[in-house]
């Protein structure tokens, strides 16, 4: 990360207008300060993460896991030994999976309509899709619970799924839409000109093109769902999810096993990211291997 010095024409342009060694020293210092600030900001982002991971290895005595007391692997050996943690995690995963599938389907269809077609009511629809994103979670959760109370629906697993789909649809629309907007409409027209009907065109042409956007939206929706506390808390009834379990435990001291699961999720994400980079590098190498013998990843 120390390689920030870069002789670029931009800095040459700077010297042309700013004379003297004082100005040059200031420019040099400014670049270093900027890099330092960026590093400090990232360190700030990682401080609590470091604590979470470290305390998953803490040999704590008693209920509380607040003071460092030596290294142990015992929490990692049986993370689900803590009563209720396993079922809570399973609920979270199931809710995230179901609500993601529904939200992605509903949101992708809306995104397709918004980008592909001109129709009456499009502008108000745009605003309407934006509204849930501009509403604080506590309002979304509270008002949905008020509705369930008004119409006498018992809250539980199903109402959590309903709530998660509701707050995820708009995120999916925004994400898929961003991907669709940069795309060439003419390919679809070409497919239809060549005799494909709308259905075939969708599955053979449109869907493969939007798949990366849909996948990104799915990942986002899954992540938002599995980590949601506020809206879930309002609409959970007796069902306990992973965040609700943590919240309940927070009063009596969060067991180190929660840190284990949180760290494990983080490690899995890191591994997936590294694999993704390696796969893409491999693909780039295969694609450009013949043409360029030393295929450094193209500087973006």
For residues 70-99, which are near other proteins according to CB under 8 A? none
What's the CA gap between 91 and 98, in Å, rounded? 11
Name which position in 28, 63, 90, 143 contacts other proteins (CB under 8 A): 143
Closest to other proteins by CB, 50 or 74? 50
Taking the C-alpha atoms of residue 35 and residue 37, their distance in angstroms, rounded to an integer, is 5
Of the candidate residues 62, 70, 119, 194, the single one contacting other proteins (CB under 8 A):
119
Kindly indicate which of the ranges 80-88, 165-173, 182-190, 209-217 contains the residues binding other proteins, using the contact rule CB under 8 A: 165-173
Judged by CB under 8 A, which of 20, 45, 62, 294 binds other proteins? 45
CA distances to 47, 97, 206, 230, 232 from 158, rounded to whole Å, are 37, 13, 32, 16, 11
By the rule CB under 8 A, 294 interacts with other proteins: no
Cβ-based neighbours of 200, under 8 Å, separated by 6 or more: 191
Please say which residue, 220 or 290, places its beta carbon nearer to other proteins: 220
Q: Are the C-beta atoms of 257 and 85 separated by less than 8 Å?
A: yes
Residue among 72 and 219 whose Cβ is closer to other proteins: 219
Q: Give one DSSP letter per residue of 114-166, joined into a string.
A: HHH---TTHHHHHHHHHGGGGS-HHHHHHHHHHHHHHTTPPPSHHHHHHHHHH
Binding-site member from 88, 89, 129, 256 for other proteins (CB under 8 A): 129
Which one of the spans 71-79, 81-89, 108-116, 284-292 is the region binding other proteins (CB under 8 A)?
A: 108-116
**Residue whose CB is less far from other proteins, 47 or 290:** 47
Give the footprint of other proteins on residues 174-203 (CB under 8 A): 198
Residue 14 or residue 87: which is nearer to other proteins going by CB?
14
From candidates 153, 166, 205, 284, binder to other proteins by CB under 8 A: 166
- Applying the rule CB under 8 A, the residues between 230 and 289 that interact with other proteins are 230, 233-234, 242-243, 246-247, 250, 254, 258-259, 262-263, 265-266, 269-270, 273
**In the stretch 5-24, what mask flags binding to other proteins with x, by CB under 8 A?**
-x--xx--xx-xxx------
Count of residues that interact with other proteins, criterion CB under 8 A: 93
Instruction: List CB contacts of 73: < 8 A, sequence separation 6 or more.
Output: 57
- In degrees, to the nearest 5, what angle opens at C-alpha 180 toward C-alphas 193 and 214? 110
Instruction: Decide whether 38 or 185 has the Cβ nearer to other proteins.
Output: 38
The total of other beta-carbon atoms located within 10 Å of residue 185's CB is 11
Q: Judged by CB, which is closer to other proteins: 253, or 289?
A: 253
Q: Residue 8 or 290: which CB sits closer to other proteins? A: 8
Q: Would you state the structure tokens that stand for residue 182, as one six-digit string?
A: 């940069």
Contacts of 175 (CB under 8 A, 6+ apart): 107, 213, 216, 217, 220
Least spacing, CB of residue 147 vs other proteins, in Å: 4
Segment near other proteins (CB under 8 A); pick from 79-87, 93-101, 105-113, 285-293: 105-113
Q: Would you state the structure tokens that stand for residue 186, as one six-digit string?
A: 């003419």
Taking the C-alpha atoms of residue 143 and residue 295, their distance in angstroms, rounded to an integer, is 55
> Of 21, 41, 208, 252, which one interacts with other proteins (CB under 8 A)?
41
Backbone Cα Rg of the chain: 25
């Amino acid at each position: 990360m120390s390689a920030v010095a870069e002789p670029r024409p931009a800095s040459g342009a700077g010297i042309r207008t700013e004379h003297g060694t004082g100005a040059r020293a200031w420019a040099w210092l400014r670049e270093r300060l900027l890099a330092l600030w960026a590093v400090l900001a990232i360190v700030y982002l990682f401080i609590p993460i470091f604590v979470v991971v470290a305390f998953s290895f803490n040999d704590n005595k008693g209920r509380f896991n607040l003071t460092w007391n030596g290294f142990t692997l015992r929490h990692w050996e049986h993370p689900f030994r803590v009563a209720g943690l396993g079922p809570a995690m399973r609920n979270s995963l199931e809710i995230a999976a179901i609500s993601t599938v529904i939200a992605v389907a509903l949101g992708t269809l809306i995104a397709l309509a918004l980008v592909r077609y001109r129709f009456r009511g499009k502008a108000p629809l745009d605003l309407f899709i934006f509204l849930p994103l501009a509403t604080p979670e506590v309002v979304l959760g509270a008002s949905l619970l008020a509705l369930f109370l008004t119409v006498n629906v018992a809250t539980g697993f199903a109402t959590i799924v309903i709530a998660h789909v509701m707050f995820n649809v708009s995120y999916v629309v925004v994400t898929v839409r961003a991907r669709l907007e940069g795309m060439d409409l003419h390919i679809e027209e070409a497919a239809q000109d060549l005799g494909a009907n709308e259905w075939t065109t969708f599955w053979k042409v449109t869907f493969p093109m939007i798949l990366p956007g849909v996948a990104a939206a799915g990942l986002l929706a899954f992540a938002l769902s599995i980590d949601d506390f506020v809206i879930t808390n309002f609409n959970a009834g007796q069902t306990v999810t992973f965040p609700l379990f943590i919240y309940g435990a927070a009063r009596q001291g969060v067991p180190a096993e929660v840190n284990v699961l949180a760290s494990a999720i983080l490690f899995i994400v890191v591994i997936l990211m590294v694999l993704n980079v390696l796969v893409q590098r491999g693909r780039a190498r295969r694609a450009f291997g013949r043409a360029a013998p030393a295929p450094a990843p193209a500087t973006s």
